[in-house]
Structure 1
Amino acid sequence: MATTTIQVPKETRDHLAELAKERGLSIGQLVEALAAEQLTAAQRDKRLAADRKLVREVLGVAISDEEFDQAPDVLANIYKIAAEKVRAVGQDAA
């Protein structure tokens, strides 16, 4: 595999070296892993299209992209409810 060199500030290099060491990786392996975790806009669009197709198939309903866009963010709402419950428990304990 061909490799290349990237230039970063010394502080960034040192930070990456520390992270890599903690994980038992080289800096190159760490950067590769971090990059693999980040989707490009095209990859996100492709995943979104696949997810919407699956929902349409599972529900058996022809939901348009516009309807998907107008739907509430269910996951964000679940996180919000969970955070409120955690805060409530914390206040009760105090």
Structure 2
Amino acid sequence: MATTTIQVSRATRDRLAELAKEQGLSIGQLVERLADQQPTAAQRAERLAADREVIRSLFGVNISDEEFEEAPDVLGNIYKIAAEKVRAATRGNAA
């Protein structure tokens, strides 16, 4: 595997060296581990889309992405939106 050099301040280098030593790693291994633990924006978006699909499936209603975005209390609003959609569907079937 090819390696490269990154430039950081001495204080950062010293901190990374201390953290790496505590974990029995080289600084390079520590940086790799830290980078692997941080998802990219694309990975976060993919995870969010998958999580939303799970919620839609569990509730059995189609909650739009816009409705998710408008929900500051995500779980509370999911329950509210799902209940409203179920009530509307039930009223539609009763007619």
Could you tell me the TM-score, scaled by structure 2's length? 0.72
How many angstroms apart in 2 are the aligned matches of 1:50 and 1:38? 18
Higher relative contact order (CA 8 A, sep 6+): 2
Going from structure 1 to structure 2, the CA distance change for 1:74 and 1:18 (only over 3 Å counts) comes to same
Going from structure 1 to structure 2, the CA distance change for 1:38 and 1:28 (only over 3 Å counts) comes to same
Deviation per CA, 1:8-44, whole angstroms, max 9, x where unpaired? 1111111100000011111011101111111111111
How many angstroms apart in 2 are the aligned matches of 1:49 and 1:68? 11
Q: Structure 2: which amino acid aligns with 1:59? A: F
Q: How far is the alpha carbon of 1:74 from its aligned partner?
A: 4.7
Equivalent residue for 1:2? 2
Equivalent residue for 2:69? 69
How many angstroms apart in 2 are the aligned matches of 1:21 and 1:73? 42
Equivalent residue for 2:57? 57
2:23 maps to 1:15? no
Equivalent residue for 2:32? 32
Unpaired stretches in structure 1, ≥5 consecutive residues = 76-94
How many angstroms apart in 1 are the aligned matches of 2:14 and 2:63? 49
Q: How far is the alpha carbon of 1:4 from its aligned partner?
A: 1.1
In our comparison, the structure showing a higher alpha carbon Rg is 2
Unpaired stretches in structure 2, ≥5 consecutive residues = 76-95
Equivalent residue for 2:91? none
Aligned-partner SS, 1:13: helix
Q: Structure 1: which amino acid aligns with 2:25? A: L
